Amino acid sequence: MKAFENMEVWFVTGAQLLYGGDAVVKVDAHSTEMVDGMNKSGLLPVKVVYKGTANSSKEVSDVMKAAENDRRCIGVITWMHTFSPAKMWIHGMQELRKPLLHLHTQFNKEIPWETMDMDFMNLNQSAHGDREFGHLLTRMRKNRKMVVGHWQDPKTLGHIAVWERVAAAWADAQDMLILRFGDQMNNVAVTDGDKVEAEVRLGYHVDYTPVSELMEYFKRIGDEEVDRLVQTYFAEYDHDAALEDRTTEAYQKIWNAAKAELTLRACLTDKGAKGFTTNFDDLGEFDQIPGLASQRLMAEGYGFGAEGDWKSAALSRTVWFMGQGLPGGCSFLEDYTLHFNGEQSAILQAHMLEVSPLIAEKRPRLEVHFLGIGIRKTPTARLVFTSKPAAGITATIVDLGNRFRLIVNAVDCIPSKPLPKLPVASALWIPQPNFEVGAGAWILAGGTHHSCFSYDLTEEYWEDYAEIAGIEALFIDKDTTLREFKREMRVNEVYYLLNKALC
């Protein structure tokens, strides 16, 4: 199925009947032409559906209620073609909880200097109509994305496209189920948090699934199915020919890893889950950490968090969802170890095993090596690769006790080297603006050692996400200084305390 195929964004045009029915007929025709043009541009991942003009408080309320009730609708774009007195938008805006984009545009691109008359003016009034509407939204403290530009300009459409992807991922998160196989890694603070508040604020639901329950699926996996999956591995990945020798321990390890993958997928499918966490101390009958399974399930779009990190599992699903169809790829990653080298100082990103092959530079290599961590210290199957040298962005959400904080860091992935004695998948990046400030700001913000990385997303995606979720967002990029960053965090501390008191 094509990404976003079952989703729609609704387009509602503000007008009023003051200028007579003829004006509204023209507004309607213009809006139809605009929405057609936007859809035909090929630049918008989610189809825009024109829902007509809204000319009264009742019409606005009706269309917003309908938007709320329609499962396909993931958000609403509003535009005031004529002056649309904003009091008529109050009740409708109270109804709308889905993402809102206010588009400040105009049907006509340029002023028709020679022919412009009062009829033209009565029609092309977004210059003040959108200000009236914007005032009300600000007065109501209504979160929205503001996009300004001509509706045919690819730049304008690019901003709408970003918001569409974020709104789609937001919709996806509202019925997202994350399964925790085993609990949080004992004593770890940063990966834990308030699951009730996460469901209230961010939409997703997190359930504990005992490993004993997962083992019920394990028992039902047939040998032939496992054999077939092992052959898929050999077809998809580079590997030593010796691995195909069925009499070896290495082959048995790959076979067991394939059975673990089928077990996890069966359980996730059965329960309708979109992501999961594992815990390397709680493995049931798995003979090894199901790292290869986690790698492949991530590549399919399942969110993943290691050591019970359910926030990363949910956010990595969201990152994958937003980036569907884009060329770069994404993965759950962990700050592994540091490489001090002056201006090129960098952080190696890896995990015991669980890095998505979507970010691989070349075809991943299937290997089996001893892994000496957790309750199964044994040879373990995994995909080994280095990642593409390119710019990207990484993000995490932490629970500060009184709120969730999104932390975003623009990073530059640089060429990495193989690790013959630690054969795992990895990336190597320099956080912006440089290692010293980037890592310093992240740590001061309380950021995790786990994060959700993407080559495709930009800061704009995360701005839109934070706006829709209504959570704090901190950006670490080329403009960051630690002095300003600390000031921003202190100001935010007061803002969120007051905001909580006002709500």
Residue numbers at the binding site for Mn ion (CB under 5 A) = 306, 334
Nearest residue to the partner Mn ion, using Cβ:
306
Nearer to Mn ion, 388 or 449 (CB): 449
Smallest gap from Cβ 351 to Mn ion, in A, equals: 6
Nearer to Mn ion, 106 or 448 (CB): 448
The CA distance from 198 to 180, in Å, is 15
The CA distance from 437 to 1, in Å, is 43
SS3 474: strand
Smallest gap from Cβ 183 to Mn ion, in A, equals: 15
> In angstroms, how far is the first alpha carbon of the chain from the final one?
41
Nearer to Mn ion, 333 or 393 (CB): 333
Contact 104, 156 (CB under 8 A): no
Given phi > 0 = left and psi -120 to 50 = alpha, else beta, which region is 182? left
Smallest gap from Cβ 306 to Mn ion, in A, equals: 4
**By C-alpha distance, which of 432, 435, 441 is closest to 459?**
432
Any idea what DSSP says for residue 184? P
Smallest gap from Cβ 32 to Mn ion, in A, equals: 52
**By C-alpha distance, which of 197, 134, 146 is closest to 405?**
197
Smallest gap from Cβ 368 to Mn ion, in A, equals: 21
Smallest gap from Cβ 307 to Mn ion, in A, equals: 5
Nearer to Mn ion, 334 or 467 (CB): 334
Nearer to Mn ion, 100 or 289 (CB): 289
Which residues neighbour 26 within 8 Å (Cβ) at sequence distance 6 or greater? Answer: 123
SS3 411: strand
Smallest gap from Cβ 373 to Mn ion, in A, equals: 10
Smallest gap from Cβ 91 to Mn ion, in A, equals: 48
Phi, psi (rounded to 5 degrees) for 179? -100, 130
The CA distance from 383 to 368, in Å, is 9
Nearer to Mn ion, 306 or 322 (CB): 306
The first and second tokens of residue 165, run together, are 């992807």
**How deeply is 211 buried, as exposed, middle or buried, from its count of CB atoms within 10 A (0-12, 13-18, 19+)?**
middle
Smallest gap from Cβ 336 to Mn ion, in A, equals: 9
The DSSP line for 310-364 is: HHHHHHHHHHHHHTTT-SS-EEEEEEEEEE--GGG-EEEEE-SS---GGGBSS--
Nearer to Mn ion, 69 or 186 (CB): 186
The first and second tokens of residue 51, run together, are 């829902």
Q: What share of the chain is helix, strand, coil (3-state, %, to 5)?
A: 45, 25, 35
The DSSP line for 239-264 is: --GGGG-TTSHHHHHHHHHHHHHHHH
Nearer to Mn ion, 73 or 289 (CB): 289
Q: How far is CA 129 from CA 91, 245, 432, 478, in A?
A: 18, 73, 40, 36
Nearer to Mn ion, 306 or 410 (CB): 306
Nearer to Mn ion, 129 or 308 (CB): 308
Smallest gap from Cβ 350 to Mn ion, in A, equals: 10
